[in-house]
């Protein structure tokens, strides 16, 4: 889900925004590491480690709501990379010196996550090397936007911090340019697009804000000077990339497919599941077959109701496809897309409460908003959740409006997010999917499990919650809802097939689009969007299916063991209480308890 030293990739993926803290009102002093006198050696070492880690990764720190080092922008040069490697090696050594036999289960798993984080960081720098070939990794917008939009301190203080950051922007992009070697054309195009969005964050509005906030003339002049230099640096980077792209059009670009040699180790590091990527791929192929067979039955049940006396095709994919096509016409109008999503959130919350599925926190409402410009690019909907340093802050549901689409693109998109699937999307993103899970995660007693959380657990929970809600009767338990849900679930399964197929097996664009449109019944717009995403990310698309399968199997196993004593609400609340730890780790912790 997350590249360890790279914030921009977090914004790219539908990664549930663990890295996006948008706290609202907090104390104005930087938080001090809370080390109590009675803290265990492990707890003290962990707090010292975290403060050092944020100092070393100030952008990431701003993302999780830790502002002590917010005025620093590290230039991503060779010296910084060497420092990162030394940092990782040094802390691995310090943690290795602890007596592990004295740690309880919670601390042991925290330690495992810290190790995984540091080892992955090293692997990304030394082996994966996206810092060389992914120009979209370099973007200064997000931390600056967070500092401007988050009231963690009075505005004049935040503007002063931003001004200091801006002064370091030219050195940042100079280092970025120096790093780029044979990038992929796909990441180059994305970097151009997103850097243009960056200019809307580094706009003259900042100077108006400074005037309103009552900054001194001198401070305003400095801000103006730093802003102009930063804008110039971003424009320079865009120009550099455009020239480079014209050259790459003639040849010499890197293939966006990462290949098997990088794929397996990346899968192990990012997903942390109990199987190999190849095993997951095989499992997904089997699941696709199971879903097709189930949908075949549902299609037979629904055929005459919707298709009247139209001849039923012998081919099951044709039959299912025609039925889905007919049902998909039931969708909201383009201008109703955003309001409808907003309207559904309280309905879902009421259902979760009434059916006693899990406790919700009414003091922490979800804010539905249009996706900020600088975050647009891949996902149509995403969640920006506050980090564990400011767990009382707002959670945002970012919905990208359809303004950028022409009429036929919008129609295609709306058919995809039809009456049934739009509800499943809201379950996934909001209630009781990402929004609810991340609120629980931030209340977890383990800060490490919230900070270095596992993407497969986060996505797996959201996907699990879809099926769980339908099993509880949400949506009326109708064959229509189950058919559409199956189509949606097929998407998660095909995400895994697509990702492995493209990056490891060299699947072509034509074959990928065929898989998505014919076997997963996706629209042209959706399939093309997914094709774009698989070119820009790797492994992340498999996290949904892996985590979902692990959670569902675990629940079924407990149900069988506990029989009538099994309590769904208690299971959910306990499962969510460990933060965003890998599913296999949560299983261990839950079954180890008496």
Binding residues for Zn ion (CB under 5 A): 14, 459, 462
Tell me the C-alpha distance between 424 and 391, whole Å.
26
Query: Closest separation between CB of residue 544 and Zn ion, Å?
Result: 7
Q: At a CB cut-off of 8 Å and minimum separation 6, what does 402 contact? A: 334, 337, 410, 413, 414
Query: Closest separation between CB of residue 526 and Zn ion, Å?
Result: 15
Tell me the C-alpha distance between 354 and 381, whole Å.
27
Beta bridge partners of residue 383, listed in sequence order: 397
Query: Closest separation between CB of residue 329 and Zn ion, Å?
Result: 5
Cβ proximity of 542 and 267 under 8 Å:
yes
Output 73 or 424, the one with its CB closest to Zn ion: 424
List of E strands, 278-394: 366-370, 381-384
Q: Which of 439, 436, 468, 441 is nearest to 355 (CA)?
A: 468
Output 110 or 429, the one with its CB closest to Zn ion: 429
* 25 phi and psi angles, rounded to 5 deg: -125, 120
Which residue number places its CB atom closest to Zn ion? Answer: 462
Output 76 or 386, the one with its CB closest to Zn ion: 386
Tell me the C-alpha distance between 94 and 113, whole Å.
15
Query: Closest separation between CB of residue 438 and Zn ion, Å?
Result: 11
Output 128 or 488, the one with its CB closest to Zn ion: 488
Cα maximum dimension of the chain:
79
User: For the chain, how many helices (H) and strands (E)?
Assistant: 27, 3
DSSP state of 253: P
Output 43 or 334, the one with its CB closest to Zn ion: 334
Report helix angle 217-248 to 169-179, nearest 10: 10
Q: Which of 445, 482, 145 is nearest to 295 (CA)?
A: 482
Tokens of 244: 């480079």
Query: Closest separation between CB of residue 415 and Zn ion, Å?
Result: 6
Output 13 or 538, the one with its CB closest to Zn ion: 13
Query: Closest separation between CB of residue 519 and Zn ion, Å?
Result: 22
Query: Closest separation between CB of residue 304 and Zn ion, Å?
Result: 23
Cβ proximity of 326 and 535 under 8 Å:
no
Output 393 or 414, the one with its CB closest to Zn ion: 414
Output 223 or 470, the one with its CB closest to Zn ion: 470
Residue with tokens 């880690």: 53
Query: Closest separation between CB of residue 458 and Zn ion, Å?
Result: 7
Query: Closest separation between CB of residue 123 and Zn ion, Å?
Result: 24
Output 186 or 459, the one with its CB closest to Zn ion: 459
Burial label for 565, CB within 10 Å (0-12, 13-18, 19+), is: exposed
């Amino acid at each position: 889900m997350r590249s360890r030293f790279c914030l921009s990739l977090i914004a790219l993926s539908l990664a549930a925004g663990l890295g996006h803290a948008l706290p609202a009102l907090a104390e104005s002093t930087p938080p001090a590491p809370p080390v109590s006198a009675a803290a265990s050696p492990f707890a003290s070492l962990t707090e010292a480690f975290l403060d050092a880690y944020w100092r070393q990764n100030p952008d990431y720190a701003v993302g999780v709501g830790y502002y002590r080092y917010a005025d620093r922008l590290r230039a991503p040069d060779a010296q910084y990379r060497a420092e990162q490697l030394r940092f990782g090696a040094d802390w691995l050594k310090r943690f290795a010196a602890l007596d592990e036999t004295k740690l309880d289960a919670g601390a042991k798993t925290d330690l495992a996550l810290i190790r995984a984080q540091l080892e992955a960081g090293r692997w990304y720098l030394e082996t994966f090397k996206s810092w060389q070939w992914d120009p979209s990794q370099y973007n200064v917008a997000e931390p600056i936007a967070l500092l401007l939009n988050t009231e963690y301190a009075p505005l004049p203080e935040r503007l002063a911090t931003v001004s200091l950051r801006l002064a370091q922007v030219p050195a940042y992009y100079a280092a970025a340019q120096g790093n780029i070697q044979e990038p992929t054309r796909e990441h180059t195009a994305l970097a151009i697009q997103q850097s243009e969005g960056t200019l809307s964050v580094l706009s003259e509005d900042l100077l108006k804000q400074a005037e309103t906030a009552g900054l001194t003339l001198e401070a305003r002049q400095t801000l103006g000077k730093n802003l102009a230099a930063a804008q110039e640096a971003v424009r320079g980077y865009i120009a550099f990339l455009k020239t480079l792209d014209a050259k790459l059009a003639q040849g010499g670009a890197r293939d966006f497919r990462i290949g098997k040699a990088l794929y397996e180790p990346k899968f192990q590091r990012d997903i942390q599941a109990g199987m190999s990527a190849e095993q997951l791929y095989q499992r997904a192929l089997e699941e696709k077959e199971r879903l097709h067979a189930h949908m075949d039955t549902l299609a037979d049940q629904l055929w005459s109701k919707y298709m009247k006396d139209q001849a039923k095709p012998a081919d099951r994919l044709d039959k299912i496809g025609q039925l889905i096509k007919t049902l998909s016409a039931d969708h909201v109008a383009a201008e109703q897309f955003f309001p409808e999503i907003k309207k559904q959130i309280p309905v879902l919350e009421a259902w979760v409460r009434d059916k006693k599925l899990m406790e919700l926190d009414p003091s922490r409402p979800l804010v539905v908003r249009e996706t900020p410009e600088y975050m647009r690019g891949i996902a149509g909907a995403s969640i920006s959740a506050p980090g564990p340093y400011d767990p009382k802050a707002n959670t945002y549901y970012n919905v990208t409006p359809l303004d950028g689409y022409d009429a036929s693109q919008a129609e295609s998109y709306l058919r995809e997010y039809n009456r049934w699937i739009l509800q499943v999307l809201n379950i996934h993103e909001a209630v009781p999917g990402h929004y609810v899970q991340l609120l629980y995660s931030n209340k977890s007693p383990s800060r490490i499990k919230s900070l270095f959380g596992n993407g497969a657990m986060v996505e797996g929970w959201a996907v699990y919650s879809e099926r769980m809600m339908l099993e509880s009767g949400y949506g009326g338990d109708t064959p229509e809802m189950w058919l559409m849900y199956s189509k949606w679930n097929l998407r998660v399964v095909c995400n895994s097939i697509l990702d492995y197929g493209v990056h490891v097996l060299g699947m072509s664009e034509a074959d990928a689009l065929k898989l998505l449109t014919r076997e997963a019944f996706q629209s042209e717009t959706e399939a093309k969007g997914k094709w774009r995403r698989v070119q820009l990310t790797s492994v992340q698309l498999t996290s949904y299916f892996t985590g979902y399968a692990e959670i569902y199997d675990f629940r079924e196993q407990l149900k069988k063991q506990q029989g009538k004593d099994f309590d769904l609400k208690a299971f959910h609340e306990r499962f969510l209480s460990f933060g965003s730890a890998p599913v296999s780790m949560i299983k261990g912790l839950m079954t180890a308890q008496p």
